């Protein structure tokens, strides 16, 4: 799922490093040297870092059709993004996913990717993309040390693709997928958002496409973020899609993990993994190892909560890395045990759009 950022944001609880340092909840988190551990004992080893709010698509489940992007001064510079990433890695993070918006539309993006790929201690540098720029960037990304790609693909029908993305070109994305394979990427994963009445008639075809191309695929439940009306009618659970696919394929449960929230199934005779990401029907909060940093420098310990720590003032005060490091450590104190997605998909408790958070 690729994301962009909207203005006119619904206010969230923005906490300062000073307020966190004085909060009694922080003291309940125990941090061994070089690690991030929340108050429930979960180790945070995975960061999703958005480097831009801009995107060349306007996917209907992600954003409004008319977008006003952030002023440049409100977005972390590439140097600031590198500083944040390096600090997380120094704190024991081993997996870093670069997201957006569409990260590959960020000017001079390869400057950042090359330096991230060289970070000592970072074991897994991955990138989420809509695929529109991969013809150009697949080979440089591979050379820079990106280990794996996630590519959003909700349909194989050109006209439907145009309807979902509003402005996207399916052929360009398909060429990008082939470019990634030709560049040497393996275990590339397709991300498909499940939408009843929109693409639920293509799930079998999408699995067959993934198998033919030797790709993995994950089906993602629509997340109740932002006031997108009609979502009660379009929501599909993972169980429903699993039952549908089970009528066409022999699906064997797998204990494999890519370090994220997907639960995988295997089809005998195929290298492709079929994954399900179920934030609504079966949340994965008890094993959550992730935090998100938006392009604005907001650190969200939980996708399904409004609490965030603004890192941008820390980055721009001219202090040394110790202040940033301490702010990140303290943010573990506001990481909740789980998200509060409601049963009413059209009236979510978290009213910011997915496009405002980052993938």
**Which residue in 62, 22, 103 sits closest to 295, CA to CA?**
103
Does a structural domain hold residue 4? Answer: no
Does a structural domain hold residue 46? Answer: yes
Instruction: Give the integer Cα–Cα distance in Å for 264 and 282.
Output: 14
How many other CB atoms sit within 10 Å of the CB of residue 337?
A: 12
φ, ψ of residue 75 to 5 degrees: the values are: -105, 140
Percent of the chain clearing pLDDT 70 (strictly above): 80
pLDDT at 2: 44
**Is the pTM above the cut of 0.75?**
yes
- Greatest mean pLDDT range, 111-125, 218-232, 341-355: 111-125
User: Domain of 193: which CATH number?
Assistant: 3.20.20.70
Q: 189 lies in which domain range? A: 14-356
Does a structural domain hold residue 114? Answer: yes
pLDDT at 24: 40
Can you tell me the mean pLDDT for 311-334? Answer: 90
**pLDDT of 341 higher than 60:** no
Weakest-pLDDT range from 95-104, 167-176, 350-359: 350-359
Does a structural domain hold residue 293? Answer: yes
35-85 confidence digits (pLDDT tens): 899 888 999 999 999 999 999 888 887 777 777 788 999 999 999 999 999
pLDDT at 30: 46
Q: How many domains does the chain have?
A: 1
Can you tell me the mean pLDDT for 313-331? Answer: 90
> Is residue 188 within 8 Å of residue 215, measured between CB atoms?
yes
Does a structural domain hold residue 193? Answer: yes
Q: Which residue has the tokens 């008639």?
A: 201
Does a structural domain hold residue 109? Answer: yes
- What are the structure tokens assigned to 157, written together? 């029908």
267-311 confidence digits (pLDDT tens): 999 999 999 998 755 555 777 888 999 999 999 988 767 789 999
Q: Residue 23: CB partners within 8 Å, gap ≥ 6? A: 330, 333, 334
Does a structural domain hold residue 314? Answer: yes
126-151 confidence digits (pLDDT tens): 999 999 999 999 999 999 999 999 99
Does a structural domain hold residue 2? Answer: no
């Amino acid at each position: 799922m690729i994301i962009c950022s909207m203005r006119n944001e619904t206010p969230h609880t923005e906490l300062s490093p000073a307020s966190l340092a004085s909060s009694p909840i922080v003291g309940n988190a125990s941090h061994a040297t070089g690690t991030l551990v929340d108050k429930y004992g979960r180790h945070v080893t995975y960061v999703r870092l958005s480097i831009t709010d801009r995107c060349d698509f306007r996917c209907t489940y992600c954003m409004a059709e008319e977008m006003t992007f952030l002023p440049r001064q409100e977005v972390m510079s590439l140097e600031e993004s590198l500083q944040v990433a390096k600090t997380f890695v120094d704190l024991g993070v081993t997996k870093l996913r670069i997201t957006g918006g569409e990260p590959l539309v960020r000017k001079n993006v390869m400057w950042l990717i090359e330096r991230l790929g060289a970070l000592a201690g970072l074991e897994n540098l991955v990138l989420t993309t809509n695929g529109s720029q991969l013809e150009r960037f697949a080979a440089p990304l591979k050379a820079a040390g990106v280990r794996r790609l996630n590519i959003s693909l909700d349909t194989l029908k050109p006209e439907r693709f145009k309807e979902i993305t509003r402005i996207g070109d399916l052929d360009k994305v398909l060429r990008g997928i082939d470019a990634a394979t030709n560049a040497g990427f393996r275990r590339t994963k397709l991300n498909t958002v499940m939408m009843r009445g929109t693409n639920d008639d293509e799930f079998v075809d999408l699995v067959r496409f993934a198998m033919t191309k030797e790709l993995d695929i994950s089906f993602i439940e629509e997340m109740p973020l932002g006031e997108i009306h009609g979502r009660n009618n379009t929501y599909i659970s993972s169980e429903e899609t699993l039952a549908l696919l089970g009528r066409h394929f022999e699906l064997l449960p797998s204990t494999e993990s890519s370090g994220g929230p997907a639960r995988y199934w295997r089809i005998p005779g195929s290298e492709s993994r079929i994954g399900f990401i179920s934030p609504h029907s079966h949340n994965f909060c008890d094993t959550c190892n992730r935090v998100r940093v938006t392009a604005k420098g907001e650190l969200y310990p939980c996708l399904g909560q409004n609490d965030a720590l603004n890192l941008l003032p820390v980055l721009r005060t001219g202090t040394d890395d110790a202040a940033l490091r301490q702010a990140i450590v303290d943010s573990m104190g506001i990481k909740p045990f789980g998200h509060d997605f409601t049963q009413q998909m059209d009236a979510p408790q978290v009213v910011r759009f997915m496009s405002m958070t980052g993938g």
